[in-house]
A and B are shown apart, each in its own frame.
Chain A
Amino acid sequence: MSGLLAGSTGVPAPTPGVISERVPADTLGDILTVRPPTGRVEADPTWDEAPVLLHEVLDGHYHRLVLHSPSIASRARAGQFVMVSVPSRGGAKILLPRPMAIQRRHPERGDIEVTFSIAGRGTAELARIEVGQSLLLTGPLGRGFEIPDATSRILVMAHGSGVCAVLGIVEDAAARGIPTLALLSAAMRSAVVGERDCAELGTEAIIVTEDAGSNTIPAIDRLLREHYRTDRPSVIMVCGSSALTRAAVALGVDWGIPVQVALEAHMACGLGYCHGCAAPVAASSDRASSDGATSDRVTSDGAISDGATSDREGPLVCRDGPVFDAHVPF
């Protein structure tokens, strides 16, 4: 979810089977549906000029910010995001805010954390922010992850900065004493996000990286099937790679468990009123079965949405997601 509008929108298509960061959501359009309503009431978003308490550059690649925003920290749920407005200075004018996953919540201190890499003009400008300056945040936004009832074990799988989106679930699971395994993928060993967070939360993490040759889909599949030989997880939550998402769905189908996936999208408002982040996702999950793992993704009128039906608007990533259900293609 980091730096989604930075630079160009022309994201190259990922190579099948290779985990690539910043994958476009449309490569997953055939397996996603809007999650059925849960009746859960989300807190109204708010906005804050949030002071930057910490700006840490991780291995010269990722920028981690701790931001003081008590109103957002106290409302945010796992998997929700904030819109981060980019301050104008020195002639640089960044018009649109950047959506970023809320990586960590510290409601007792009133802080949240986000992590991003420089992907274009906006994130390059954000990377210059200094401790003591403030960033305008709007949030928390969107429908986050939901831990199903009677969950005994959780598997989270994420690549690159996509890890940020699933760490809220790691926090919640740790607080509720639900055993969780975090599969953290990255291109390089030095660019793994979330390792320290998992250690801090007492959550087991498995690191897979391209430079070690360990983050191929077959290797990950083998590793996880071995890990869960006896006791399987109750749910899989995934972000940051379409290949990883497809691997998660394959496991979810075999194990008969739901898979939830957090998407990236280009956004302007984050609230839903600009209608800019059309999600290539089925507009309705009327026929989704309760276990969520193996149902069709056909809308009630039989149409498959590509984000632009002729007479009915499809889902928006910001309002109906960013977390969607992933189902096996039929």
Chain B
Amino acid sequence: MAALAGATPATSAALAASTTIARITPDLDLSVHIGSLVLETPVMPASGCFGPELGRLIPMDELGASVTKTVFAEARGGNAAHRLTEIPAGMVNSVGIPSSGAAGYLATQHPAYLALGVPVIISVGGHRHNEYAPLVVDLQGAGDAYELNVSCPNLDREGTAIGADPLELARVVADVRRVTTKPLIVKLPSMLSSIADCAQAAEDAGADALCVANSLPALALDPRTGAPLLGNVMGGLSGPSIRPVALRLVWLASRAVGIPVIGCGGIEHPDDALEFFAAGAKAVQVGTASFARPSAAVDIARGLRDECRIAGVSSLADLLAARAR
């Protein structure tokens, strides 16, 4: 018990050695259903802030799934340097999502994700609504679910995203729904006129879950020269500074749909995750926090279990109810 509620293991070796203790939780059920996919733990990495390089440093079996960097149909090189910069409480990036295409992903990356031993959620992206379904076909059934990235702010269209247009979004989801029976998660943008309209459009078109939200379109300038700090000029803001924005969107989205909402945006600690659950999320993704602390997502998963144990409850729903009393 002391080991569970006590300090976070201080080394990767100690973290790995303590996994057995952490997993002995027969009475505790934190699982979440994303369509037909059951995630044992409602915590997973956020796309773009994870790769097998990180997965090998942490006990992945304590996370619900891995989530890949977004795969595009055609190979993409990514944006020019500089690709990221730090601001107080946030990071602005315009990596531009380098991708080796569907074939490249299947040949070089998918085996490494599979080797992590947890469900693989493949993030898929496109520049136009009709690029998603053929890409999912090209992935030949690989992966346990697909996350449709209709929201990356640092691609084309100056930050506006397919996911901000309910009609466009519905076409994407319906097209993909026709070519796969696997669970579909729709990752919505942070900038849209009505999160409820977009959330409902995705649900009506066949989405099994929503991920809310993505980084916010942003600009970082050199304060001395006024010159853009990023090679792509515009980027996406992530980190704790966007947490209240994402929290609001999760609150609104989870009241607009019946499918689960996965919260994403600046989550660093178990308490942050609990805020998102309180706002209506059924699972969370952890992104930028992993850069400074490789075990951030695992620490959150463990923290949720510890909180349940301390409160003497067996589910997150009961924990939230207990905390609300």
Contacts and interface: CB of A to CB of B under 8 A. Distances in A.
A311 B74 contact: yes
B292 A96 contact: yes
A313 B77 contact: yes
Given A275-B95, A307-B81, A8 B223 contact: yes
Contacts of B11: 46-49, 71
Given A47-B11, A47-B294, A266 B85 contact: yes
Contacts of B222: 8-10
A311 B50 CA distance: 22
B90 A95 contact: yes
Nearest to A267: B84
Nearest to A313: B98
A216 B236 CA distance: 42
A277 interface: yes
A292 interface: no
B91 A275 contact: no
Contacts of B81: 25-26, 265-266, 277-280, 307-308
B57 A269 contact: no
B10 interface: yes
Contacts of A308: 77-81, 96, 231
Given A272-B53, A278-B80, A309-B77, A95 B224 contact: no
Interface in A294-311: 306-311
Contacts, number: 151
Contact of A93 (B48, B76, B89, B225): B89
Contacts of B96: 308
Contacts of A307: 80-81, 231
A313 B78 contact: yes
B contact face: mostly helix, strand, loop, or mixed: loop
Nearest to B232: A308
A308 B54 CA distance: 24
B224 A274 contact: no
B103 to A, nearest CB: 13
Interface string B83-97: 111101111010110
Given A273-B51, A274-B48, A8 B294 contact: no
A46 B48 contact: no
A168 interface: no
B interface residue count range (under 10 / 10 to 19 / 20 to 34 / 35 or more): 35 or more
Given A93-B89, A272-B51, A9 B82 contact: yes
Contacts of A122: 86
A277 B231 CA distance: 12
Contact of A95 (B10, B230, B292): B292
Interface in A302-329: 306-314
A308 B81 CA distance: 8
Contacts of B100: 312-313
A41 B90 CA distance: 35
Contacts of A127: none
A305 to B, nearest CB: 9
A278 B292 contact: no
Interface string A95-132: 11100000000000000000000000110000000000
A278 B57 contact: no
B142 interface: no
Nearest to B77: A309
Contact of B77 (A46, A49, A273, A312): A312
B89 A314 contact: no
A170 interface: no
A46 B57 contact: yes
B319 to A, nearest CB: 26
A19 interface: no
Contact of A71 (B13, B77, B240): B13
Contacts of B295: 47
Contacts of A311: 74-77
A271 B83 contact: no
B50 A273 contact: yes
Contacts of A312: 75, 77, 100
A138 interface: yes
A185 interface: no
Interface in A209-261: none
A134 B14 CA distance: 16
A312 B74 CA distance: 10
Contacts of A272: 51, 53
Contacts of B84: 266, 268, 274, 276
B69 interface: yes
A44 interface: yes
A136 interface: yes
B161 interface: no
B12 interface: yes
Given A46-B12, A272-B53, A276-B83, A95 B78 contact: no
A273 B56 CA distance: 12
Interface string B133-148: 0000000000000000
A309 B96 CA distance: 12
A312 B51 CA distance: 18
B10 A48 contact: yes
A293 interface: no
A280 B13 CA distance: 35
B57 A45 contact: yes
25 contacts: A8-B85, A9-B82, A26-B81, A47-B294, A49-B10, A71-B11, A71-B13, A95-B91, A269-B53, A271-B54, A271-B57, A273-B54, A275-B98, A277-B83, A278-B231, A279-B81, A307-B80, A307-B231, A308-B78, A308-B96, A311-B76, A312-B77, A313-B76, A313-B78, A314-B78
What 3 pairs across the A-B complex have the smallest Cβ distances? Answer: A273-B51, A10-B222, A313-B98
Interface of B: 10-13, 48-54, 56-57, 69, 74-86, 88-91, 93, 95-96, 98, 100, 222-225, 227, 229-231, 239-240, 288, 290-295
Given A271-B54, A280-B81, 7 more contacts: A96-B91, A265-B81, A266-B82, A276-B93, A278-B81, A306-B80, A310-B77
